[in-house]
Amino acid sequence: MLGKIHLLVGDLDKAMEIYKKAVEFSPENTELLTTLGLLYLQVGIYQKAFEHLGNALTYDPINYKAILAAGSMMQTHGDFDVALTKYRVVASAVPESPPLWNNIGMCFFGKKKYVAAISCLKRANYLAPFDWKILYNLGLVHLTMQQYASAFHFLSAAINFQPKMGELYMLLAGKERSQMKNLS
């Protein structure tokens, strides 16, 4: 509970210390292992994250949070097929997970299968219509496919939820520049 309180306050370092001690006390607790793995993933310590997520999966091979995080790590390193295999396991356990469908969509985007990416991202958007990351990804895929009106729609919606994120404006401006280039 103390670790959760530190997370709510936003103190990742203290939360990690608490979870490390908790894992030492209870090394087979998959919830603790998964949470610590996710914290390591969040701060960019991938080796420790992979180690703790792997340990969680050793004790509970169908722990969907750990599988989703492991798939995300594979995806980050460009191994889209392995990530999709991991996500298939999660989809059978939690088929209505917006982060799952977002990640599947971005795997297809990485494989340059844009129609499949849009399909998965639209499902994620249906499940979580106010998630700016999903809107951002939809805008990015539509921009890549040169579907500028759709890209504008999704990027504008993402900007409404994250008005201080400069990258959204950059993509929107890139869309405008690309569209103007096509007109000349």
Tokens of 174: 């890139």
Q: Measured between alpha carbons, how far is 144 from 131 in angstroms, rounded to an integer?
A: 20
Q: Measured between alpha carbons, how far is 78 from 80 in angstroms, rounded to an integer?
A: 6
Q: Measured between alpha carbons, how far is 107 from 76 in angstroms, rounded to an integer?
A: 9
Average pLDDT, the chain: 88
Tens of each residue's pLDDT in the chain, 184 residues:
877 887 888 888 888 888 888 888 888 898 889 988 888 888 888 889 889 988 898 898 888 889 888 898 889 889 999 999 999 989 988 999 999 999 999 999 999 999 999 999 999 999 999 999 999 999 999 999 999 999 999 999 999 999 999 888 888 887 554 443 444 4
User: Could you give the angle at which helices 98-110 and 80-93 cross, rounded to 10 degrees?
Assistant: 160
> What domains can you pick out in the chain, each with its CATH number?
1-95 (1.25.40.10), 97-183 (1.25.40.10)
Q: Measured between alpha carbons, how far is 32 from 34 in angstroms, rounded to an integer?
A: 5
Tokens of 146: 């040169």
